Every structure is written in structure tokens, then in C-alpha cells.
Amino acid sequence: MSEPDPSGGRPPAPARPTLRVGVVGAGRVGAVLGAALRAAGHEVVAISAVSDDSRERAEALLPGVPVRPVPEVVQSAQLVLLAVPDDALTDLVAGLHSTGTWVPGQLVAHTSGRHGLAPFAPVADALLPMAIHPAMTFTGTSLDLARLAECCFGITTPEALRPVAEALVVEMGGEPVWVPEEARGRYHAALAHGSNHLVTLVAQAMEVLRSDGIDPADRVLRPLLQASLDNALSSGDAALTGPVARGDAGTVAAHLAELADLPEDVATAYRAQARATALRAQRSGRLRGDDAATILTTLDEETR
């Protein structure tokens, strides 16, 4: 007696198409996304790397993938991933166009948060352009691969390529989020303000604790900061607590006095954030107008 057919007589599913991928830039982002695409089944055929650090990163995350000059990386690939600094992107695209390096009909994606499709203007009719930006901070190590599972990618493409960009993001483990071309600048400003300035804020808070011998500063701050972040993400301004939200100008003045002998950036940042907090608390109705005015006056007095 023959064994039952587990497919139920259905034809086998077609194999998912794979791409030959070339990565331009073995920085923290390029090497990690290249590794994620490789893990998804695509063939990373070449990567460009200039510094010793980038070469080591390429070897660690993409072992066996040859390091080649940028023109060779581009011409060997069906999908070119441009993972270069924002300010270098437009000139790179134009330079490869002027030297006839691009292959007509090629898929090309950049990872810049700031830019949408504008850098591809010289080659818009010849290539298939996409902006695919991971909204995450990268270490450039294998740790980042696991973090992609919770990462949103801001994508901007011609409408016909939107399914392609979304599929690539999903294959890397991320979640695609559509960002219109005209919104790219504000999208990037929001991410930089939230992420980069958070790093500065946390580093300053640890410096203040350690300046008076309170350590381990990271362990003291971690539960508080994690709870504050979770509350802010879920509730916005309603999560606000502390002396500014209470209108406690005396405590704010005392804080500034304590910070006066630390590096200038600490007190300057405290004043700027306290001012922004007071204005937002007043606007949301959490702080009465007279209390907000007292806080703002206290901050002005401390700068004289």
C-alpha cells in the first residue's frame, strides 16, 4: 500500500526568487543589512569597504563575501544596497551615473533616513529606486540582527516598487512603514531628535550621578528610564512626572545650582529640556499658566 501524498496532490510551491546583492559601504548598517538579506536566502556577491574597521566588520558579518571596489560591487549585483552617509549619497549616485556604472533595470536601495527618491533623479528612468531606512541605532555587530525583529523600516518608493521594498523588509525581519517623499525630512528629524538626543541625555544623567560618587549609575537609572520610555511611548505627555509638571520652581532652581560646577553642556541641556517640558505641560493642561510662568522665570534667572 502506497504512502499518502502529504501535499494532497497539489503542485509544489514555486521557489522564492533570490537576488544577487551588492553592498556599498561596510559601515554599521550596510554590513548588518547585508547579513540579514543573506540569512533570508539572497546571495551577497560583493561588498565595498575602505577602513580596517569596515573590512573587519565585513569579514565578521559576511564571511566569504569578497571586498571589491564600488564599481565592481554595483555591476555584479541585481540589487545594490547603498549604505553610505546621508551627505555622500547624492554625489555617489551621480558619480556612478556619469561613469556608466549602473546596470539598466537594476534594483537600488539606499538606507538614508533623510533622503527619499531625490538622490536617484539622474537615474530615475534607468533604475528601480527605493529608500529603505531602518529606524534603529546600530552597533555593527551580530547583536543587531536580532534587533531587526522589532525594527520598523521607513520606505519610500515609486508605487510599483512598494511591494518589493515591503517584501525585502519583511525578509530581514522588520516591519515596513510607508513614508511619503515629502515627509522624509520630518521623519528623520523625529528619529534623530528622539534617539541621538536620548543618548546625550542619558550620558549626562550618568555623569551627574558619578560626579558625586553614586555608582553604578547605569543600574540606578535603568529601571527609571525604561519605565519612563515605556510610559511616554504609550501615553505621551500624560506620562510626565517631576518638579516641572508640579510647578515646583524651587526644586528646579536647586537642581541648576547643583549642576553649576559640571561641564556647561549639562546645565544648558537641563534648562532647555525644563523649558520645553514646562511649555508642553502648559499646552496639555497639566501645568497652570502661572506655575509655568514661574518655572520659565526661574530658568531665565539662572542663565543671567
Domain ranges for the chain, please list them.
20-179, 187-302
pLDDT for res 63: 97
pLDDT for res 150: 85
pLDDT for res 12: 52
pLDDT for res 6: 47
**Which residues of the chain have a pLDDT value below 50?**
1-2, 6-7, 13-14
pLDDT for res 168: 98
Please name the residues in contact with 19: beta carbons below 8 A apart, sequence gap of 6 or more: 37, 42, 43, 77, 78, 79, 107
* Ramachandran quadrant class, 247 (left: phi over 0; alpha: psi -120 to 50; beta: rest): left
Question: How many whole angstroms separate alpha carbon 39 and alpha carbon 147?
Answer: 14
The backbone torsions φ and ψ at residue 100, rounded to the nearest 5 degrees and listed phi first, read: 65, 30
Q: What is the CATH number of domain 20-179?
A: 3.40.50.720
CB 175 within 8 Å of CB 169: yes
DSSP code for 103: P
Which helix (H) or strand (E) is 44 found in, with range? strand 43-48
Place of cell 556577491: 45
Q: Cα–Cα distances in Å, from 114 out to 26, 45, 121, 162, 189?
A: 19, 27, 15, 18, 8
Joined together, the cell numbers standing for residue 181 give 517623499
Question: How many whole angstroms separate alpha carbon 258 and alpha carbon 243?
Answer: 15
